[in-house]
Amino acid sequence: GESGAGKTETAKIAMQYLAALGGGSGIEYEILKTNPILEAFGNAKTSRNDNSSRFGKLIEIHFSETGKISGANIQTFLLEKSRVVQCAEGERAYHIFYQLCVGAPPALREKLNLMSAKEYKYLRQSSCYSINGVDDAEQFRIVVEALDIVHVSKEDQESVFAMLAAVLWLGNVSFTVIDNENHVEPVADEGLITVAKLIGCDIGELKLALSTRKMRVGNDTIVQNLTLSQATDTRDALAKSIYACLFEWLVEQINKSLAVGKRRTGRSISILDIYGFESFDRNSFEQFCINYANERLQQHFNRHLFKLEQEEYIQDGIDWAKVDFEDNKDCLNLFEKVPSPLTQLRVFVLTTKGVLLCYIFYLVVCHAFGIFIQADLTGNFFMFCMVASITTDTKISMNILSAKVLRFLLFNFRALQIIDILMSGSRSKFVGVMLHF
């Protein structure tokens, strides 16, 4: 479903229902307390949803032979790491950053050198620091309480908060140009000093890590200085890596607390909760993967609930009113069909050195009035819109298509016109533009 449709809330209700039915051992309370932790570290405010899941999770709840909950295991996937370092106007990074800035007690604030959210570059770029009706300080208290319940020690909790503060301070690290080739080095200011202290490394080593890279050439190691853009990317990559590792570590600690061990009977119920379809002005590769995963799950749902079920009704001769549903197979064919249209496009561009006009005509003839337009008109959860934005948005940050395609589209207005017309499904406009070639 789309972002904000209620997937996460429904998953929580399902977990509460199972806990009420299979409770009694006490572990069901721990299972329920994983929700505020995972939401704080994996959810964020987007333009469509104030509590949007930015990762997927599969919660496997195990039962004893008597039907009581005996433990659980959580698997996570596709964490949106890019949200750590950038988010659109009016959106927020992960909830835990704002909760920490507002709710941390004075002693912790002093230890981590915490400031308000507005003081951190990663958080202030979207100009959104709060959510209506949500008390971040109270949510921080709930998260700390939940960490206690799942047996994360106070010492480990402090380490978690230190890593979060380090990520925030990394965004404040700035660089200065040191030569006429635009090579840079980090400025040894409060940001750099605080990051080095929080992650426990030497400040000199941190400066080298952020401003140089090592390349192995034969038996030799070459140290290359970075330009400003390269150093900025390196800094952001470090911040994303720290956060992703922290998230994985937290899930691992939770699973240790909920482990079934020798009580495993093979009886379990799994609840899947993934983030929903969204289409932003600039869609990252992560969002592409999210939307594709949703399309595939939607197809699985349609196939088992509608298609196969109704085929059984026909075989059994049952008299019933047929249920019509939108089949998103055409959308999936864009990516899964062998060879897929997108794969053909990329291969064609690479092998013909960017000569794309003939291939656009091929796409038009073969697909425009079939798969492409049909997929667009059915509006299957923005997947086709996603493809269109990848193709037409020259500012896109993803590399799903080759750079040659994007450069071609940037400098060929009529090619953009064709693709825009394909999206609108206008045959007459299409013919008019093609006559100009």
42 is in an annotated binding site: no
Q: Provide the annotated active-site residues.
A: 3-4, 8, 49, 52-53, 276, 278
326 is in an annotated binding site: no
3 is in an annotated binding site: yes
Q: What are phi and psi of 62, to 5 degrees?
A: -100, 145
CA angle (48, 34, 65) in 5-degree steps: 125
75 forms bridges with which residues in the sheet? Answer: 58
8 is in an annotated binding site: yes
Q: Give yes or no for a contact between 402 and 390, defined as CB atoms under 8 angstroms apart.
A: no
Q: Give yes or no for a contact between 433 and 418, defined as CB atoms under 8 angstroms apart.
A: yes
6 is in an annotated binding site: yes
Which residue is listed with tokens 């208290």? 141
Buried b (16+ CB within 10 A) or exposed e, 208-220: eebbbeeeeeeee
Q: What are phi and psi of 177, to 5 degrees?
A: -75, 135
Buried b (16+ CB within 10 A) or exposed e, 277-287: bbbeeebbebb
Which residue is listed with tokens 């337009």? 373
Q: Give yes or no for a contact between 284 and 398, defined as CB atoms under 8 angstroms apart.
A: yes
90 is in an annotated binding site: no
| Alpha carbons 357 and 366: distance in angstroms, whole number | 14
In the annotated binding site for ATP, the residues are 1-8
